Amino acid sequence: MLTAAGCGGGSLAGSPPPPPPPTDPDGRADLLLSQMTLDEKLQLVHGNLTTENGVGPRNSAGWVVGVPRLGIPDLLYADGSVGVGDTVGPATALPSSLASAASWDLDEAYKYGQVIGKELSAYGVNVNFGGNVNLSGREPRDGRTFETKGEDPILAGKITAAHLRAIQDHYVIAGVKHFAMNDQETARTQANAVIDERSARESDLLAFEIALKDSKAQSVMCAYDLMNGTFACGNSHLLTDILKGDFAFPGFVLSDAFATPSSVPAALAGLDQEQTGDYMFGGIWSSESLKAAIQNGDMPASQLDNMVHRILRAMYAAGVFDHPASVQPIDATGDAAIAQEAEEQGAVLLQNAGPQLPLNASNLKSVAVIGSHADVGVLSGGGSAQVFPVGGAALTLPPACPPYTPPPGGLACLNALQIFDPSSPLAAIRAKAPDANVVFNDGTDPTSAAALAASSDVAIVFESQWESEGMDLVDLTFANGQDAIVSAVAASNPHTIVVLESGGPQLMPWLANVSAVLEAWYPGQKGGDAIANVLFGSVNPSGKLPISFPASIADLPRPTIPIPDPPDSTAPFDVDYTVEGFNVGYKWFDAKGIQPLFPFGFGLSYTTFSISNLQLSPDAPVTNGFQVTFNLQNNGSVAGAEVAQVYLGFPAGTGEPPKRLVGWQKVLLQSGARQQVTITVDATDSSHPLSIWSTTSNGWVTPNGDYTVYVGNSSASRSLVTAGTFHVGS
Ligand code: BGC
């Protein structure tokens, strides 16, 4: 029979022209799929270690072999939460993701993601294991807090989405992880997160939903832990009902490294690709066992087709086929500038009595700089997110794993190193105050640190706390007696400034005795310069906490981190998240009437702002959402940015926390300037701002009753004013 192709591409008189080739990702994926053999399909669902069988393209975190016959490229995977990770190559060390969230600025977050996307692509990587959107506020001691975006699902989801959009705009498949409830590292492969459906939907799962819907990221990494008794990577409720069903996620699910709990059951539950290798949990899943299952009828071939379809459509949707990554040098200079800007936008000024800051170099004759190796660099977080910085580490120290770090979770900590990025705060401070005598003390001896401080105009103490994947902090106290150093310095100099380099919240027993505190997080490749710019007022701080700082660990939902029982047991053990449910972070403190040390959303500036003329205009019908309009005024003598935050109180009897963040806007105002600001809260937004999860209707509903809208510059009630109320229902 003659085909259209056989006629040189023309059509036979009377016969319909051949359909044009599909141009949409699904159609293109199906066309390719129809040409693949069973073995080729199996090849795409199996992740290799890059060194597996002695071969592998280059250093990375994973590798899926392509099908050259059909033009399907290899997939090369690398971590990239805070810059390109693994040993892919020297990369720009960004400040921690939590610092990016502290900017509360989606444009700034997009730039942060661009650095990751550009550099992954320059290293030839086309899939990113990034996007950690676990809600660290549930367990602020979590050793991966620095990789997350904090405690609020909306802020975390939106910031993550901005990162992922930027990454995928560089034709690298972006992803979110670790789906879901991987909120502690301790014994993470055995931890069974126990949580009810509504709480999960309104907290951790909501962060994932927003991140995915707002970014269209094409991959989801399922987690090591169990959720309600079933391993996340074999959990059909999570992967199929919620992710692929309710969230309508069209991309593919890949397992965390070695986290595949089974073969056919996991595939049927919704896992599309195993990463990495075959041997976790007994090596049950492998392409060989899937092949046998298909051949003997234990798994329908259509299941494998769907898995492969999802992978291919993700590759098309992200541009992997059309824009193959080409290896080239990274733009280290340009990316370092973005790293510095991200830190300057994310550093949070927590205290400024006096005001002590900004420092005026012309008034300074002597400055003491103390502690945390501030003479050479700034600390970074450990584990798979670790970036090996451009220029090489300034200092590398052995890991400081806490006592409970049994393998396999603890392995990640034991393999980690404490890496200091090459950006010396001491040098940057010297450059800011060239006429002052700036002297460094290593901060290991309180007496000598205090003596130096006593003879200096100001003392700047750097306190740091290392954390890493594969461990949790035992408490939130700075290690190695650093608090005693701060106290000794503060006792000898009333102008003591503390700069914190931490993955997340820490306790500050010396707070009342120091004049200023700057939370610099893990500050990244240009952290020293960014910190000095803030201290000397070249940058006016505008970061706001994306996570509450508790006053005591006794105030947390779980005063101690759950461990297996007995501790050396390898059996699953419960981590009871029903204690706080969806009341994560500030919602917990609000609901319990507990005063945190510093509230979610808090951060000072070198100027002050005021809000006036508040007006609330509910849309018609009111269930569509509302707008809050107000005047924001900069009352000070320097330009600065304020983050106006909108919180919503739900009707009594709904069981919701006293207030939920539903919107915000970061506004830059010149000295004395006033601007009218409108913040729109759209009920149809991916964050479901006017809804609660109903287990009765298995969906989001807007309850009837009275709602109260608050506006202010932190979640603390004292910093909020009521914009008005509205009523839903008859
Ligand atoms: C981590 C993941 C990471 C993977 C590959 C795992 O240990 O949990 O976040 O992407 O390793 O490096």
pLDDT in tens, 437-474: 999 999 999 999 999 999 999 999 999 999 999 999 99
Q: Which residue stretches of 149-235 are H helix?
A: 153-168, 197-201, 204-215
> Is residue 129 lining ligand 1, measured as CB closer than 6 Å?
yes
Query: If you measure from the C-alpha of residue 616 to the centroid of ligand 1, how many angstroms do you get, rounded to a whole number?
Result: 45
> Is residue 138 lining ligand 1, measured as CB closer than 6 Å?
no
- CA distance linking residue 589 with residue 557, whole number of Å: 9
Report the pLDDT value the prediction gives residue 288, as an integer from 0 to 100.
65
- CA distance linking residue 213 with residue 210, whole number of Å: 5
Q: Which amino acid is at 512?
A: A
Report the pLDDT value the prediction gives residue 715, as an integer from 0 to 100.
97
| 404: helix, strand or coil | coil
Query: If you measure from the C-alpha of residue 255 to the centroid of ligand 1, how many angstroms do you get, rounded to a whole number?
Result: 9
> Is residue 642 lining ligand 1, measured as CB closer than 6 Å?
no
| 500: helix, strand or coil | strand
Which residue in the block uniquely carries the two structure tokens 């409970």?
404
- CA distance linking residue 388 with residue 91, whole number of Å: 6
> Is residue 177 lining ligand 1, measured as CB closer than 6 Å?
yes
Closest CA to 664 of 517, 518, 534, 545: 545
Report the pLDDT value the prediction gives residue 258, as an integer from 0 to 100.
85
The Cα-based distances of 496 to 170, 356, 389, 423 in angstroms read 44, 9, 31, 22
Question: 147 near 385, Cβ under 8 Å?
Answer: yes
Query: If you measure from the C-alpha of residue 580 to the centroid of ligand 1, how many angstroms do you get, rounded to a whole number?
Result: 27
Burial class (CB in 10 A: 0-12, 13-18, 19+), 379: buried
Query: If you measure from the C-alpha of residue 82 to the centroid of ligand 1, how many angstroms do you get, rounded to a whole number?
Result: 13
Nearest ligand 1 atom to the CA of 79 is 10
Q: Which amino acid is at 441?
A: N
DSSP output for 405-464 = --TTHHHHHHT--EEEES--HHHHHHHH-TTSEEEEE-SS-HHHHHHHHHTSSEEEEEEE
- pLDDT of residue 718 exceeding 60, the answer is yes
Classify the C-alpha dihedral 18-23-27-29 as positive or negative.
Answer: positive
- Higher-confidence residue of 32 and 416: namely 32
> Is residue 681 lining ligand 1, measured as CB closer than 6 Å?
no
Joined tokens for residue 705: 């009753």
Query: If you measure from the C-alpha of residue 160 to the centroid of ligand 1, how many angstroms do you get, rounded to a whole number?
Result: 17
Residue range 577-595: average pLDDT?
98
| Atom 2 of ligand 1, nearest CA residue | 256
> Is residue 257 lining ligand 1, measured as CB closer than 6 Å?
yes
| 149: helix, strand or coil | coil
Report the pLDDT value the prediction gives residue 1, as an integer from 0 to 100.
29
Q: Which amino acid is at 108?
A: E
Nearest ligand 1 atom to the CA of 177 is 9
**Mean pLDDT of all residues belonging to the chain:** 93
- pLDDT of residue 676 exceeding 90, the answer is yes
- pLDDT of residue 648 exceeding 90, the answer is yes
| Atom 10 of ligand 1, nearest CA residue | 129
Query: If you measure from the C-alpha of residue 109 to the centroid of ligand 1, how many angstroms do you get, rounded to a whole number?
Result: 22
Strands in 219-222's sheet, in edge-to-edge order, are: 175-179, 219-222, 252-255
| Atom 3 of ligand 1, nearest CA residue | 384
| Atom 6 of ligand 1, nearest CA residue | 257
Question: 60 near 86, Cβ under 8 Å?
Answer: yes
Q: What is the DSSP letter of 686?
A: T
Question: 548 near 599, Cβ under 8 Å?
Answer: yes
Lowest mean pLDDT across 26-40, 172-186, 561-575, 591-605:
561-575
Residue range 14-27: average pLDDT?
91
Q: Which residue stretches of 216-331 are H helix?
A: 236, 264-269, 287-295, 301-318
> Is residue 252 lining ligand 1, measured as CB closer than 6 Å?
no
What residues contact 58, with CB distance under 8 A and at least 6 apart?
50, 76, 88, 123, 124
Report the pLDDT value the prediction gives residue 292, as an integer from 0 to 100.
87
Which residue in the block uniquely carries the two structure tokens 């919704």?
270
> Is residue 341 lining ligand 1, measured as CB closer than 6 Å?
no
Closest CA to 421 of 348, 336, 344, 504: 336
Query: If you measure from the C-alpha of residue 383 to the centroid of ligand 1, how many angstroms do you get, rounded to a whole number?
Result: 8
- CA distance linking residue 255 with residue 232, whole number of Å: 9
Joined tokens for residue 115: 């650095």
> Is residue 139 lining ligand 1, measured as CB closer than 6 Å?
no
| Atom 11 of ligand 1, nearest CA residue | 257
Report the pLDDT value the prediction gives residue 19, as an integer from 0 to 100.
85
Question: 228 near 578, Cβ under 8 Å?
Answer: no
CA dihedral 470, 475, 478, 479 (to 10 degrees): -60
The per-residue pLDDT for range 526-538, each reduced to its tens digit, is 999 999 999 999 9
Query: If you measure from the C-alpha of residue 348 to the centroid of ligand 1, how many angstroms do you get, rounded to a whole number?
Result: 29
What are 254's strand-pairing partners? 221, 273
CA dihedral 90, 96, 97, 100 (to 10 degrees): -110
> Is residue 463 lining ligand 1, measured as CB closer than 6 Å?
no
Pocket test for ligand 1, best of 79, 87, 160 (most atoms within 8 A of CB): 79
Report the pLDDT value the prediction gives residue 251, as an integer from 0 to 100.
98
Query: If you measure from the C-alpha of residue 726 to the centroid of ligand 1, how many angstroms do you get, rounded to a whole number?
Result: 45
- CA distance linking residue 207 with residue 458, whole number of Å: 42
> Is residue 255 lining ligand 1, measured as CB closer than 6 Å?
no
What are 75's strand-pairing partners? 64
Pocket test for ligand 1, best of 182, 256, 411, 415 (most atoms within 8 A of CB): 256
The bridge status of strand 219-222 relative to strand 175-179 is parallel
Number of H helices, E strands in the chain: 18, 28
What are 499's strand-pairing partners? 462, 518
- CA distance linking residue 325 with residue 76, whole number of Å: 10
Joined tokens for residue 403: 């006592």
> Is residue 61 lining ligand 1, measured as CB closer than 6 Å?
yes
> Is residue 313 lining ligand 1, measured as CB closer than 6 Å?
no
The bridge status of strand 458-465 relative to strand 496-502 is parallel
> Is residue 185 lining ligand 1, measured as CB closer than 6 Å?
no
DSSP output for 597-647 = SB-TT--B-SS-EEEEEEEEEE-SSGGGEEEEEEEEEE-SSS-EEEEEEEE
- CA distance linking residue 56 with residue 431, whole number of Å: 46
- pLDDT of residue 57 exceeding 90, the answer is no
| 666: helix, strand or coil | strand
Classify the C-alpha dihedral 183-188-192-197 as positive or negative.
Answer: positive
Report the pLDDT value the prediction gives residue 86, as an integer from 0 to 100.
82
Report the pLDDT value the prediction gives residue 278, as an integer from 0 to 100.
52
The Cα-based distances of 673 to 162, 357, 606, 666 in angstroms read 29, 22, 15, 15
Residue range 258-280: average pLDDT?
82
> Is residue 144 lining ligand 1, measured as CB closer than 6 Å?
no
Report the pLDDT value the prediction gives residue 58, as an integer from 0 to 100.
57
Closest CA to 213 of 173, 240, 243, 170: 243
> Is residue 79 lining ligand 1, measured as CB closer than 6 Å?
yes
What are 726's strand-pairing partners? 707
Task: Report residue 416's pLDDT band, with 50, 70 and 90 as the boundaries.
Answer: confident
- CA distance linking residue 396 with residue 110, whole number of Å: 30
- CA distance linking residue 144 with residue 161, whole number of Å: 19
Closest CA to 56 of 85, 77, 84: 77
What kind and span of H or E run contains 663? strand 660-669
Question: 687 near 153, Cβ under 8 Å?
Answer: yes
> Is residue 231 lining ligand 1, measured as CB closer than 6 Å?
no
> Is residue 384 lining ligand 1, measured as CB closer than 6 Å?
yes
Query: If you measure from the C-alpha of residue 78 to the centroid of ligand 1, how many angstroms do you get, rounded to a whole number?
Result: 9
Residue range 487-498: average pLDDT?
98
Residue range 281-304: average pLDDT?
77
| 523: helix, strand or coil | coil
Strands in 191-194's sheet, in edge-to-edge order, are: 230-231, 226-227, 191-194, 573-576
Question: 29 near 41, Cβ under 8 Å?
Answer: no
What are 678's strand-pairing partners? 629
Pocket test for ligand 1, best of 51, 384, 414, 415 (most atoms within 8 A of CB): 384
> Is residue 244 lining ligand 1, measured as CB closer than 6 Å?
no
Query: If you measure from the C-alpha of residue 257 to the centroid of ligand 1, how many angstroms do you get, rounded to a whole number?
Result: 6
The per-residue pLDDT for range 308-354, each reduced to its tens digit, is 999 999 999 999 999 998 889 999 999 999 999 999 999 999 999 99
- pLDDT of residue 625 exceeding 80, the answer is yes
- Please give the model's pTM, rounded to 2 decimal places: 0.96
- CA distance linking residue 687 with residue 1, whole number of Å: 56
The per-residue pLDDT for range 189-245, each reduced to its tens digit, is 999 999 999 999 999 999 999 999 999 999 999 999 999 999 999 999 999 999 999
> Is residue 225 lining ligand 1, measured as CB closer than 6 Å?
no
Report the pLDDT value the prediction gives residue 412, as an integer from 0 to 100.
79
> Is residue 142 lining ligand 1, measured as CB closer than 6 Å?
no
CA dihedral 610, 615, 619, 625 (to 10 degrees): 30
Question: 474 near 402, Cβ under 8 Å?
Answer: yes
Give one word for 715, left, alpha or beta, with left for phi > 0 and alpha for psi -120 to 50: alpha
- pLDDT of residue 277 exceeding 70, the answer is no
